[in-house]
Amino acid sequence: MQTTVDIVIPTFNQPRALRLALTSIVRWTRSCFAITVVDNSLAGYAGEICRQTHPAIKVIRPGSNLGWMGGVNLGASEGSGDYILMLNDDVVILDFDHQWLQKLLSVFVRENDV
């Protein structure tokens, strides 16, 4: 069975950064993953960016700014993966590193006490 990862990204008024982050994740990730974006802003820009980037990206709009940790907690509560990866909305995956997520997960496979 393949390991699944829920990637949770809280965002607040950073549409350009969010677009770059999502584009790089979708482009350079070959693992089994799901992305949930928690849009803490009232502007509602995240939904359109997510639809343009990949239609399977889930967007949650809490209606108020929950802060980063509040956004992570809300997004994580919606997931069903084996692992949760919390990312900032300005993270960009390096070009041509299709194994970035497997590298992160390999620690959990190698080390039983992690």
- Residue 85 is encoded by which pair of tokens? 């990866």
Residue carrying the six token digits 């790089």 = 24
Phi, psi (5° rounding) for residue 95? -55, 140
Break the chain down into helix, strand, coil percent, rounded to 5: 40, 20, 40
Structure tokens, 30? 């070959």
Per-residue pLDDT of the chain in tens (114 residues, 90 and over written 9): 578 999 999 999 999 999 999 999 999 998 889 999 999 998 889 999 999 999 899 999 999 999 999 999 999 999 999 999 999 999 999 888 888 999 999 988 888 887
Decide if 37 contacts 46 (C-beta within 8 A).
yes
Tokens standing for residue 48: 């359109």
d(CA 64, CA 108): 35
pTM: 0.92
